[in-house]
Amino acid sequence: MEQPALTISGYSLDYLTPRGVHHALVDIDLAIARGEVLGLVGESGSGKTSLAWSIMRYLPGNARENGGRILLGRDDLRAMAPAAIEEIRGRRIGMVFQDPSTSLNPTLSLGIQLAEVLERHRGLTRRQAWREGEQMLARVGLKDPPGMMRRYPHEASGGEKQRVVIAQAFACQPECILFDEPTTALDVITARQILELFAELQAETGVASLYISHDLALVSRVADRVAVLHHGNMVEQGQVAGVFGAPREAYTRRLVAAVPRPDRRLVAELGPAEAAAAPLVAARGVSVEYGRPSAIARLFGRDRAPVVGNRAVSLDVRPGEIVGVVGESGSGKSTLARALTGLNPFSGEIVFDGRPVRGIADMDGAYRRDVQIIFQHPDSSLNPRQRIGEILARPLRLHDRLPGAAEAARIGELLEQVRLPATYAGRYPHQLSGGEKQRVAIARAFATAPRLVICDEITSALDVSVQAAVIELLLDLRRRHGTAYLFITHDLNLVRQIAHRIAVMYRGDLVEVLDAQAFSAGPTHPYTRSLVAAVPVPVG
Amino acid sequence: MSPAYALKRCGLIVYTLLVVSLIVFAITQVLPADAATMLLGENATAEALAAVRERLGLEAPVWLQYARWLGGVVQGDFGTSLRTGLPVAPLMMEALGRSLLLALLSILLMLAIAVPLGVIAAVRRGRAADLIVSVLSYVGVSLPEFVTATVFVLVLADWLQILPASGYVAPTQDPLRALQHLALPVLTVSVILVAHVSRMVRSELVDVLHSDYVRAARLKGMKPRTVLLRHGLRNALLPTITIVALDVGYLLGGVIVVEEIFAIPGIGRQLIVAIQARDLPAIQAGALIMAATYSVANFAADLAYAWLDKRIQYD
C-alpha cells in the first residue's frame, strides 16, 4: 500500500493552564492519501485548530505532547529540528487561513508576499519569483496578474486576497495543505467561487488536503472522507456519505441533526387570518446614509457623497410573523435593524401598530418597550462589570418600576423562561458560556414583553448545536408571547427553516420579499438565485 | 497622498501659525506693562514713555499693531530686539539652526539605541533581557537632565577627558570640533528619549509578532530573521514615527536645561533670555518659529507614514 501523504497515529496533546491540564487532543489517528480531501469537523474547542498547529509544529509554550507520531510521507515531523521544520513549512506543507484580510501583511504588496515563498523554497531570484508568481496568480483565476502583484492587500477584495493566499500555499507544490476554515470570513457567493477553485487545484495537483470546518454542509461538499472531533477525541471517521448519512456515534447524530435543513420547517405556517392581518410594523421608504463630512471637510467647503446604508426599503412585519432578512455583509441588513431601533437616523417612515414614526424623536417609551433588539455578540452587548441580575433589571426599572421583591422574582422568571437557573442572576457574563450569554441577551429583550424582536445575526457566533437550542428557544417564546421576529442572518438554510417570509437585500436595496414556499419553489430575482445556488445543502 | 491633500495640509499649517501668532500677540497685549515701560523701567517720565510709544507705534489701535507685526513676520522681519536693538529674526534663526542640529543628531543616536533595544525586549519578552532593557530605559527617562548631564560630564569630560565639557562650535567653522562639542548634549538628550521609543517599539512589536500575518509568514517557512525584520519590525516602527515627531517639539523647547548646562545658544536658551529681559519681539519670534518647526515636523511624519503604510490614504 502506498504511504499516505500525512499520517497521525496515537497523538495526544495537553495544554498546561493555570486551572490545570487541558486535554486538547486525545489519541488521534488519521491518514490522508495523495489526492484525498479529509474533512475535519467539530465545534469550537473540539481541537480542530490544535491539530493543525501540531501538524505545522507551531505549538504555544504551554503545549505538552504526550506521545504519538506525525508523519509527512515517511518523515517524522516531531523528531525534526526547528531549522528543518522551517524548510518544510511552505515547501512540503502549505496552509490556507481563515481570514485573508488578517493573514496578509498590510504593508507589503501581494507580489512580494507571494514571491518571497518562491525565493525561500525554490531558490529563485526576485525576478524569476516575480514571473512565476504572476503565473501562479493566473492559475488561481485572478485577472491581470501583473497588476495584482503590485497591489497591496487593502486594494484587493476578500476573495482576491484568499486566492493569493491559496496561490502561496500551492506555490511550491506541497504534498499536503491544511485549509483552516478558508471560506468562513467570505461572503456566500465568493465562498462558493473559492470552493470551486479549491476543487480544481486539488484535482490538478493531487495534493493531500486536510479541510477544517465547522460547517457540515460545506464539508460534505468538498471532502472525500470526514473525521469528527469532540472534546479532543476522534469520535468517528469515514466516508462523508456514511458518517453524515448514517452516523454511528450519538455525538455525530446530534451534530448532524443540529444542522439547519431548509426542507425541515420548524414553524407552523400563518393561518389566513394572521396572514391578512394589518402589519405590526411597516417600513415605508426607509433610507439610511452614513458618513457626515468631517469638520475639516466642512471648513474647506467640500461635499462628500454620503455612503448609502439602505435605499428606500419598504417592508412589513405582521403580528407574530417571522420575517427573515438575508444578504451579504454590507448589504444593509443590520442598517435596517439600526434604523428600526433608532440607533441610526433615517429618512422615510415607519408605521408601528398604525402609528407613524418619522424619526428618532417619535420613538417614545411605548415604542421602545414594544421593539427590542438582540445583537450578534453577547460578549459586547452584555456589560462585563454588571451581574446578570443587574443587566436584566435595567429594562424592568426603565419600563416597569417594580418593587424590589417583585423585581427579583421577575428576573428569576425571565431567566427560567430562557431555561437558565434563577441563581444565574448573581453571576457575571464571563462566567457563562457563549450560548448562555446569548440566552441572557434574549431574556433582556423579552423583559419588556415586546411585540417585535429584531434578531441581528444572533446565532452566527454560536456552534451549530448551541444555535439549534437557541432557535428552539426563540420559537418557544414566540408560541408563548406571540412575538414577531425580524430575523437577520446570512445563513440561508437556517432562515428557510423558520421564516414565514424572506427579504433579500443586496448593496443597500431590498431585492425581493418572498414567502417561504415561493422561496423553495425557486426565486425569480437573479441575485437570489445565485445566492441559493451558492449555499451548500447538507447531505444525509 | 494626493498633491491636493499636501497643499491642503500646507494651508492648515499656515492657519495653525496664524492662530498661534494671534495668541502670542494677544499675550503680549494683556501683560500689565507695555514695551515702553519695559524698555525704560518703572520710574520713567510720562514724556519719555510717550516718545518711545510713538516710536514703537504703540499708540495705534491693537489690530493695526497686529497687522503691522504680521506684515513684517511674513517678510521675515520679527522686529527689533528691545534688549540688543538688533533685528530679532537672524538671531532666532541661528539659534533654531543650532537647536535643530542638536535635535537631529539626538534623534539619530536615540533611534540607533532605542530600536535595537526595543526589538531585543520584544523578542526576549518576559526574560532577563527584557527586564534589563526596561529598567535601564526607565532609569534614563526618570533621571533629571541635569543629573544625566553631570554624570556624563564627570565621566567623559572630567575623568577620561575625551570630550569637551561645554561650549558650541559652528560646524561650518570646524566640523570635527563641532561634533566633539555636541557629543555630550546629544548623549544626554538621547538617553532621555530612549525609554520612550524603546518601550513603544517593544509593545508594538509584541503585538505585531502575535498578528495573523506574522504567523502566516512563519508558516510559509520564512527564516526567523525575515519574519522579524520584513514582517515584524517594519510594521512595528510605523507608530514610532509619530512619537519621534512629537519628540521634535520636546527637543526644541524642552531641552533648555541641557542647552544651559552645555552652553549651547539654542532656541530654548534664547527664549529664556528673551523672557527674562521681557524682550517682546524676541518672545513672539521664538514662539512662532517653534510652532512652525513643530507643524512641519508633524507634517513630515504624516508624509513618511503614508509612504510606508500604503493603507493610509489622506484625501
> B244 to chain A, minimum CA–CA distance in Å?
20
Comparing A32-41, A443-452, B265-274, the range with the smallest average pLDDT is: B265-274
Helix (H, G, I), strand (E, B) or coil at A317: strand
- Backbone dihedral angles phi then psi of residue A122, each to the nearest 5 degrees: -115, 5
What are the cell numbers at B249?
A: 517639539
Instruction: Work out the pLDDT band at B32, boundaries 50, 70, 90.
Output: low
Beta bridge partners of A238: A226
Q: Is the four-CA dihedral A96, A101, A104, A110 of positive or negative sign?
A: positive
Nearest neighbour of A103 by CB, restricted to B213, B221, B224: B213
Nearest residue of chain B to residue A104 (CA atoms) = B213
pLDDT at site B47: 82
Structural domain containing residue A278: 272-534
Nearest neighbour of A89 by CB, restricted to B211, B220, B235: B220
pLDDT at site B37: 74
Question: Do A527 and A413 fall within a single domain?
Answer: yes
B chain contacts of residue A126, beta-carbon cutoff 8 Å: none
Comparing A77-91, A144-158, B176-190, B253-267, the range with the smallest average pLDDT is: B253-267
pLDDT at site A276: 84
Question: Do A341 and A232 fall within a single domain?
Answer: no
Pairing of strands A484-488, A501-506: unpaired
Nearest neighbour of A107 by CB, restricted to B212, B215, B234: B234
Please answer yes or no on whether B226 and A97 come within 8 Å at the CB atom.
no
Say if CB A68 and CB A9 are below 8 A apart: yes
Please answer yes or no on whether A103 and B222 come within 8 Å at the CB atom.
no
Instruction: Work out the pLDDT band at A344, boundaries 50, 70, 90.
Output: confident
Task: Give the Cα separation of B194 and B136 in Å (integer).
Answer: 10
DSSP state letter for B229 = I
Best of B9, B210, B214, B219 to disrupt the A interface (most A CBs within 10 Å) is B219
Question: Do A442 and A394 fall within a single domain?
Answer: yes
Nearest residue of chain B to residue A85 (CA atoms) = B221
Q: Is the pLDDT of residue A280 over 90?
A: yes
A chain contacts of residue B213, beta-carbon cutoff 8 Å: 102-106
pLDDT tens readout for residues A482-498: 999 999 998 899 999 99
Please answer yes or no on whether B212 and A95 come within 8 Å at the CB atom.
no
pLDDT tens readout for residues A387-424: 999 999 999 998 888 888 899 999 999 999 999 999 99
Q: Is the pLDDT of residue A310 over 80?
A: no
Question: Do A280 and A250 fall within a single domain?
Answer: no
Question: Do A195 and A65 fall within a single domain?
Answer: yes
Question: Do A344 and A435 fall within a single domain?
Answer: yes
pLDDT at site B233: 93
* CA-closest candidate to residue A210, choices A343, A4, A39, A361: A39
Helix (H, G, I), strand (E, B) or coil at B236: helix
What are the cell numbers at A276?
A: 391578512
In the predicted model, what is the mean pLDDT of residues B227-240?
Answer: 91
Nearest neighbour of B219 by CB, restricted to A56, A107, A108: A56
What are the cell numbers at A251?
A: 455525538
pLDDT at site A303: 52
Please answer yes or no on whether A90 and B8 come within 8 Å at the CB atom.
no
Please answer yes or no on whether A107 and B235 come within 8 Å at the CB atom.
yes
Nearest neighbour of B213 by CB, restricted to A105, A116, A120: A105
Q: Is the four-CA dihedral A244, A246, A251, A257 of positive or negative sign?
A: positive
Say if CB A339 and CB A310 are below 8 A apart: yes
* CA-closest candidate to residue A378, choices A260, A452, A454, A460: A460
pLDDT at site B33: 65
Percent of chain B with pLDDT over 70: 96
What are the cell numbers at B175?
A: 566640523
Q: Is the pLDDT of residue A169 over 80?
A: yes
pLDDT at site A5: 95
> B304 to chain A, minimum CA–CA distance in Å?
13
Nearest neighbour of B220 by CB, restricted to A99, A117, A296: A117
Of A212, A229, A257, the residue that ends a domain is A257
The beta-strand segments (E) located in A74-175 are 75-76, 93-96
Nearest neighbour of B309 by CB, restricted to A58, A86, A107: A107
Say if CB A121 and CB A151 are below 8 A apart: no
What are the cell numbers at B222?
A: 520564512
Say if CB A366 and CB A449 are below 8 A apart: no
In the predicted model, what is the mean pLDDT of residues B142-161?
Answer: 88
Our separate counts of H helices and E strands in chain A read: 22, 21
B chain contacts of residue A88, beta-carbon cutoff 8 Å: 221
Nearest residue of chain A to residue B237 (CA atoms) = A107
Higher-pLDDT residue of B82, A158: A158
Question: Do A310 and A447 fall within a single domain?
Answer: yes
The residue behind cell 530600536 is B115
pLDDT at site B143: 87
Nearest residue of chain A to residue B236 (CA atoms) = A107
Please indicate, yes or no, if residue A141 is contained in any of the structural domains.
Answer: no
> Structurally, how many domains does chain A consist of?
2
Q: Is the pLDDT of residue A499 over 80?
A: yes
In the predicted model, what is the mean pLDDT of residues A30-41?
Answer: 95
**Longest alpha-carbon distance in chain A:** 78
Of A226, A257, A288, the residue that ends a domain is A257
Question: Do A434 and A468 fall within a single domain?
Answer: yes
A353 sits in the region (left: phi over 0; alpha: psi -120 to 50; else beta) called left
pLDDT at site A306: 61
Nearest residue of chain A to residue B306 (CA atoms) = A107
> A91 to chain B, minimum CA–CA distance in Å?
7
CATH superfamily placement of domain B89-267: MetI-like (1.10.3720.10)
Please answer yes or no on whether B216 and A103 come within 8 Å at the CB atom.
yes
User: How many other CB atoms are there within 10 angstroms of residue A385's CB atom?
Assistant: 8
C-alpha distances in Å from residue A324, one per residue of A501, A516, B102? 6, 10, 67
A chain contacts of residue B310, beta-carbon cutoff 8 Å: 107, 152, 154-155
In the predicted model, what is the mean pLDDT of residues B135-144?
Answer: 86
Q: Is the pLDDT of residue B171 over 90?
A: no
Instruction: Work out the pLDDT band at A68, boundaries 50, 70, 90.
Output: very high
Of A216, A232, A257, the residue that ends a domain is A257
Q: Provide the residue ranges of all domains of chain B, joining segments of one domain with +.
A: 89-267
The residue behind cell 441575485 is A527
User: What predicted TM-score, i.e. pTM, was given to this entire model?
Assistant: 0.83
Task: Give the Cα separation of B94 and B88 in Å (integer).
Answer: 10
The total number of residues written for chain B in this structure = 315
pLDDT at site B1: 62
Write out the H or E segment, with its range, that includes residue B40. Answer: helix B35-40
> A481 to chain B, minimum CA–CA distance in Å?
45
Angle at B48 between CA B46 and CA B52, to 5 degrees: 115
Nearest residue of chain B to residue A120 (CA atoms) = B222
Nearest residue of chain A to residue B11 (CA atoms) = A300
Task: Give the Cα separation of A502 and A493 in Å (integer).
Answer: 11
Question: Do A276 and A245 fall within a single domain?
Answer: no
Please answer yes or no on whether B310 and A152 come within 8 Å at the CB atom.
yes
pLDDT tens readout for residues B73-110: 888 888 888 788 889 888 888 999 898 899 999 999 99
Beta bridge partners of B49: none
Nearest neighbour of B221 by CB, restricted to A104, A120, A165: A120
pLDDT at site A522: 80
B chain contacts of residue A56, beta-carbon cutoff 8 Å: 219
B chain contacts of residue A300, beta-carbon cutoff 8 Å: 8
Residue B205 amino acid letter: L
Best of A49, A53, A54, A107 to disrupt the B interface (most B CBs within 10 Å) is A107
Q: Is the pLDDT of residue A107 over 60?
A: yes
Task: Give the Cα separation of B235 and B233 in Å (integer).
Answer: 5
Q: Is the pLDDT of residue B41 over 90?
A: no
Residue A154 amino acid letter: H
**Longest alpha-carbon distance in chain B:** 86
* CA-closest candidate to residue A326, choices A489, A526, A533, A510: A489
Say if CB A128 and CB B240 are below 8 A apart: no
> A116 to chain B, minimum CA–CA distance in Å?
8
Instruction: Work out the pLDDT band at B5, boundaries 50, 70, 90.
Output: confident
Say if CB B205 and CB B233 are below 8 A apart: yes
Question: Do A63 and A188 fall within a single domain?
Answer: yes
Nearest neighbour of B221 by CB, restricted to A91, A97, A99: A91
Nearest residue of chain A to residue B220 (CA atoms) = A90
Q: Is the pLDDT of residue A182 over 70?
A: yes
B chain contacts of residue A103, beta-carbon cutoff 8 Å: 212-213, 215-216
Helix (H, G, I), strand (E, B) or coil at B114: helix
A chain contacts of residue B8, beta-carbon cutoff 8 Å: 300
Best of B15, B213, B230, B305 to disrupt the A interface (most A CBs within 10 Å) is B213
Question: Do A396 and A507 fall within a single domain?
Answer: yes
Comparing A188-202, B19-33, B234-248, the range with the smallest average pLDDT is: B19-33
Please answer yes or no on whether A107 and B311 come within 8 Å at the CB atom.
yes
Average pLDDT, chain B: 86
Q: Would you call A444 an interface residue with chain B, using a CB distance cutoff of 8 Å?
A: no
Q: Is the four-CA dihedral A146, A152, A155, A157 of positive or negative sign?
A: positive
B263 sits in the region (left: phi over 0; alpha: psi -120 to 50; else beta) called left
- DSSP3 helix / strand / coil % (chain B, rounded to 5): 75, 0, 25
What are the cell numbers at A78?
A: 516531531
Nearest neighbour of B311 by CB, restricted to A86, A120, A152: A152
Please indicate, yes or no, if residue A314 is contained in any of the structural domains.
Answer: yes
Q: Would you call A88 an interface residue with chain B, using a CB distance cutoff of 8 Å?
A: yes
Helix (H, G, I), strand (E, B) or coil at A33: coil
A chain contacts of residue B18, beta-carbon cutoff 8 Å: none
> A117 to chain B, minimum CA–CA distance in Å?
7
A chain contacts of residue B12, beta-carbon cutoff 8 Å: 296
Say if CB A508 and CB A502 are below 8 A apart: no
Please answer yes or no on whether B212 and A165 come within 8 Å at the CB atom.
no
Please indicate, yes or no, if residue A181 is contained in any of the structural domains.
Answer: yes
Task: Give the Cα separation of B247 and B241 in Å (integer).
Answer: 10
Instruction: Work out the pLDDT band at B167, boundaries 50, 70, 90.
Output: confident
Q: Where are the alpha helices (DSSP H) in A171-299?
A: 188-205, 216-222, 240-245, 250-258, 272-276, 295-299
**Chain centre to alpha carbon of residue A147:** 31
Task: Give the Cα separation of A521 and A519 in Å (integer).
Answer: 5
In the predicted model, what is the mean pLDDT of residues A252-272?
Answer: 88
* ipTM, two decimals: 0.83
